[in-house]
Structure 1
Amino acid sequence: MDTLRTLTDLDERGIGVEALDLDLDTTTAAGRLVVRVMASLAEWERDLLIERTREGLEAARRQGRVGGRPRALDEKDQAAIKASLEAGLSVADVARMHGASTRTISRVKSGTY
């Protein structure tokens, strides 16, 4: 509803908006009505899009699908990383060995990967 807020602010300051290609003038009652109806329809359409997206994601999850990027490290890699860290290697050394970022290694180390 930023459009309506902006138009209301402009109207309060005595500034009218005229869209020449639409023959729309917010200084008239009819023009303000059309702008409000258009803004309401845009908000409704956005809400529908959000609702449908949520429903689609929920349906996909029920079917066992998950979104997002696939994990770079499988369980075998994670076990090797943990073993390397337990052996006393630094996070940076383990990251270089496995071709992963230090952030990824830290996440494996903390169990949040």
Structure 2
Amino acid sequence: MTDLRRRGASVVDRRIALGYTTRQDFAVATGLSYRLLGDVERGRREVSAGSWAVIEQALGWEPGTVRADEDRPPPVSAIRALGDAYLIAAELVERGDDALGLRLLRALADIEVLDC
């Protein structure tokens, strides 16, 4: 598998894991074109560093990690993941699932983030 295809497969896997079940949903979320994302996901062409930065941010990946190590998927920033979890908890509360939202917020509050 080429590096471009490997990157594309990583993008698809992470996109779906985040709930963007269609490429169109992801295109709307990122502001990138459906066609560009299709080329990325199929490993058909290289895109600009700016496009990669938008994709990495939307997927919760650290900047530049999409090319850092072609043999493993890029890591998700712990800070970004925690931020996303707080947003999900707030959305749960807004939708009326107070018990689950508050439980999630309490669990997140117990996490100690250490500066490394």
TM-score range, shorter chain: under 0.3
The normalised TM-score by structure 2 is 0.21
RCO higher in structure (CA 8 A, sep ≥6): 2
The normalised TM-score by structure 1 is 0.21
**Rg (Cα) greater in structure:** 1
